[in-house]
């Protein structure tokens, strides 16, 4: 009987659900002072319509605001601020392509509009076009648009590109502009975690929690760092805190089960994995973990059932094949075990190939 390797998969939420800092806002400083005698007569119609549009935009009357910006642009075809704010109104109405077109037009007229580069970048960011968004954020910085949002979102883009050192630098810059920004601390912690700086990550997650006691993702993330440091009891406490704040947080429930598994509390681990599945029925990682916990309790049929479901949900789930092969071997299904180990090896699971050495 070969020594079995149990592979437990844990899911970690690395960064925040990006809280929007500047949700497509207009710039109040662009409103023309109605008491001023500085308005050029030939542009007066455009300026009046533009001011009306700004007022309607501030009142969240987006369709009406667009109509006024249309009038302003008709009267003054190269009205950069009107294009910019019309784009912002279109974002609110979910006309994303129209908004991109307007930001493009604003920048054709005035290539120095740092806020337009930022807004266009942020829109691309929400469309998951991270490399393009980062280009715009960098352009915004060159136009002296240096506010917390441009650095924070640059950090997220770099994180997505696996440039974790660059992400740390961007988040650090964001924190210079907003020292109490809990999300930036949380996300910088996640970048540090990817760089294997667990102590630095824990310090950042702790700071995020101090700033926002209800930031449940920071508790979950800190717990996962503690697991990496083999502080499983400390991890369970952090997952507990996350779940207290958000009772249906299936990620933390699954992760708490993984920590309990490491503490050999297999029955409690099974309770957590089943609870996570009850919240998210297609949660393949929890099914895999459930299978490994049943294996430890020598309940091989239950283990195989759970792993069957994990593979059904994710047909290329190499670890689940590996684990199912282990359970099948213990169930004296050598042929089935070999088939699963071979599949795991095909899918790139380390050590799976060595398990197939005795297979036909």
Sign of CA dihedral 126, 131, 137, 143: negative
Residue 26 has pLDDT above 80, yes or no: no
Number of neighbours of residue 248 by Cβ within 10 angstroms? 12
pLDDT digits (tens, 9 = 90+) for 242-251: 999 999 999 9
**Tokens 């380390």 belong to which residue?**
350
Instruction: Give the span between the Cα atoms of 196 and 46, in whole angstroms.
Output: 56
Superfamily of domain 264-360: Tetratricopeptide repeat domain (1.25.40.10)
Residue 261 near residue 9, CB atoms below 8 Å: no
Q: What is the mean pLDDT of residues 102-129?
A: 96
The residue with greater pLDDT, 141 or 22, is 141
- Contacts of residue 310, Cβ cutoff 8 Å, sequence gap at least 6: 284, 285, 287, 288, 291, 317, 320
**Cα separations (Å) of 62 from 73, 92, 126, 142, 325?**
16, 7, 20, 31, 58
- Contacts of residue 32, Cβ cutoff 8 Å, sequence gap at least 6: 39, 47, 50, 51
- Contacts of residue 306, Cβ cutoff 8 Å, sequence gap at least 6: 287, 288, 290, 291, 294
Helix-helix angle 250-262:284-296, to 10 degrees? 20
pLDDT at 195: 97
Residue 17 has pLDDT above 80, yes or no: no
Report the C-alpha dihedral over residues 98, 100, 105, 107, rounded to 10 degrees: 160
- Contacts of residue 211, Cβ cutoff 8 Å, sequence gap at least 6: 180, 181, 182, 185
Structure tokens at 247: 């009772």
Tell me phi and psi for residue 310, to 5 degrees: -60, -45
pLDDT digits (tens, 9 = 90+) for 168-215: 999 999 999 999 999 999 999 999 999 999 999 999 999 999 999 999
The domains of the chain are located at 264-360
Q: What is the mean pLDDT of residues 64-73?
A: 95
pTM of the full structure: 0.85
pLDDT digits (tens, 9 = 90+) for 282-308: 999 999 999 999 999 999 999 999 999
The residue with greater pLDDT, 14 or 305, is 305
**Tokens 């929890």 belong to which residue?**
286
3-state SS string over 267-326?
HHHHHHHHHHHHHCCCCHHHHHHHHHHHHHCCCHHHHHHHHHHHHHHCCCCHHHHHHHHH
Instruction: Give the span between the Cα atoms of 322 and 176, in whole angstroms.
Output: 47
Q: What is the mean pLDDT of the chain?
A: 88
pLDDT tier for residue 42 given thresholds of 50, 70 and 90: low
């Amino acid at each position: 009987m070969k020594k079995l390797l149990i592979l437990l998969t844990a899911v970690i939420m690395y960064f925040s659900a990006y809280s929007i800092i500047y949700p497509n806002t207009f710039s109040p400083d662009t409103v023309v002072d109605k008491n001023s005698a500085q308005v050029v007569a030939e542009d007066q119609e455009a300026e009046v319509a533009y001011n009306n549009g700004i007022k309607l935009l501030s009142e969240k009357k987006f369709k009406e605001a667009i109509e006024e910006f249309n009038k302003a642009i008709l009267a003054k075809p190269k009205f950069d601020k009107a294009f910019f704010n019309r784009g912002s109104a279109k974002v609110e109405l979910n006309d994303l392509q129209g908004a991109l077109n307007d930001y493009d037009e604003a920048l054709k007229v005035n290539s120095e509009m740092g806020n337009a580069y930022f807004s266009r970048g942020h829109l691309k960011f929400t469309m998951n076009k991270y490399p393009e968004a980062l280009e715009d954020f960098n352009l915004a910085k060159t136009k002296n648009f240096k506010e917390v949002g441009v650095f924070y979102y640059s950090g997220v883009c770099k994180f997505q590109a696996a440039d974790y050192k660059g992400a740390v630098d961007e988040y650090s810059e964001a924190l210079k502009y907003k020292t109490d920004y809990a999300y930036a601390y949380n996300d910088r912690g996640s970048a540090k975690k990817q760089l294997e700086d667990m102590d630095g990550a824990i310090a950042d997650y702790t700071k995020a929690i101090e700033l926002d006691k209800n930031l449940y993702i920071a508790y979950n993330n800190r717990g996962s760092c503690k697991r990496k440091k083999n502080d499983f009891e400390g991890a369970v406490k952090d997952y507990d805190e996350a779940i207290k704040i958000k009772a249906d947080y299936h990620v933390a429930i699954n992760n708490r089960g993984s920590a309990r598994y490491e503490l050999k509390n297999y029955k409690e681990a099974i309770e957590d994995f089943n609870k996570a599945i009850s919240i998210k029925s297609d949660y393949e990682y929890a099914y895999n973990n459930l299978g490994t916990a049943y294996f430890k309790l020598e309940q091989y049929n239950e283990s195989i059932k759970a792993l069957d479901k994990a593979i059904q949900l994710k047909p290329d789930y190499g670890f689940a094949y590996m684990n199912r092969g282990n359970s099948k071997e213990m169930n004296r299904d050598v042929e089935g075990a070999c088939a699963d180990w071979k599949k795991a090896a095909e899918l790139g699971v380390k050590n799976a190939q060595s398990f197939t050495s005795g297979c036909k």
